[in-house]
């Protein structure tokens, strides 16, 4: 299974990897193999480490969503990366394909309330503030290829905010029209300051399977 890992970067402090769609970030009630466990096994094998391997999960992607993730290899790196995320100093851009008429670009702002397995648009008293910026890159019939800059990271934020405006994501079984396909949402760009070195880390991956290939 480790051979399936697409590792984009690795040093003593962190590891950047592509999460494939429908792979869990970390273990849940399903007990399905998850990315965190796969990476721990990879590090254990590569460096011949005895016992448990430390690997910090500092952000998440929904199970159906693919894209770039960074994991911390030390507690120091995990703490610093978490602070970068909390202070909104990590650029997280997504590509998505959605239905319907949508302006060429814009900002979406809502309050989102998490209710067990789903989230709903709520009010300031019950929900958490959610903001994203978007720009349409291409259109084809009823579908749009959109780039999203995620400002806040709420539960199912992108999926819910687009669906709420009658622009559900293609393949979104939960908030969308229920096409029997993978959800077309991909974390394609991750940019942040290295937690230890004085360097800017910048990674991009463009999905090129399925309907993605039909757009520019």
Instruction: Kindly report the CATH number that applies to the domain delimited by 2-214.
Output: 3.30.2350.10
- The answer, yes or no, to whether residue 79 has pLDDT greater than 70, is yes
Residue 59 reports pLDDT greater than 80: yes
Q: Give me the residue spans of the domains in the chain.
A: 2-214
Please give the share of the chain, as a percent, with pLDDT higher than 70.
Answer: 99
The three-point CA angle 133-62-190 to 5° equals: 50
**Average per-residue pLDDT in the chain?**
93
In this structure, of 50-54, 71-75, 102-106, 153-157, the range with the lowest mean pLDDT score is: 50-54
Would you say 9 and 195 are in contact if contact means Cβ atoms under 8 Å apart?
no
In this predicted structure, what is the pLDDT of residue 179?
A: 75
Q: How far apart are CA 66 and CA 107, in angstroms?
A: 23
177-197 confidence digits (pLDDT tens): 777 778 999 999 999 999 999
The Cα 106–Cα 103 span in angstroms is: 7
Please say if the pLDDT value at position 116 is more than 90. Answer: no
């Amino acid at each position: 299974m480790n051979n399936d890992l697409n590792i984009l970067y690795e040093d003593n402090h962190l590891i950047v990897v592509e999460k494939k769609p429908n792979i869990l970030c970390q273990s849940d009630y399903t007990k399905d193999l998850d990315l965190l466990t796969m990476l721990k096994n990879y590090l254990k094998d590569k460096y011949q480490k005895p016992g448990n391997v430390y690997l910090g999960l500092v952000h998440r992607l929904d199970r159906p969503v693919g894209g770039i993730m960074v994991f911390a290899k030390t507690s120091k790196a995990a703490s610093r990366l978490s602070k970068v995320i909390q202070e909104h100093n990590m650029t997280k851009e997504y590509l998505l394909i959605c239905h319907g008429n949508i302006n060429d670009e814009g900002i979406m702002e809502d309050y989102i309330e998490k209710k067990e397995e789903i989230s709903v648009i709520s009010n300031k008293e019950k929900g958490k503030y959610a903001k994203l910026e978007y720009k349409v890159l291409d259109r084809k019939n009823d579908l749009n290829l959109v780039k999203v800059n995620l400002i806040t990271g709420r539960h199912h934020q992108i999926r819910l905010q687009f669906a709420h405006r009658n622009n559900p994501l293609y393949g979104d079984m939960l908030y969308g029209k229920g096409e029997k396909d993978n959800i077309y949402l991909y974390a394609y760009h991750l940019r942040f300051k290295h937690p230890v070195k004085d360097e800017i880390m910048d990674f991009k991956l463009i999905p090129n399977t399925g309907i993605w290939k039909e757009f520019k």
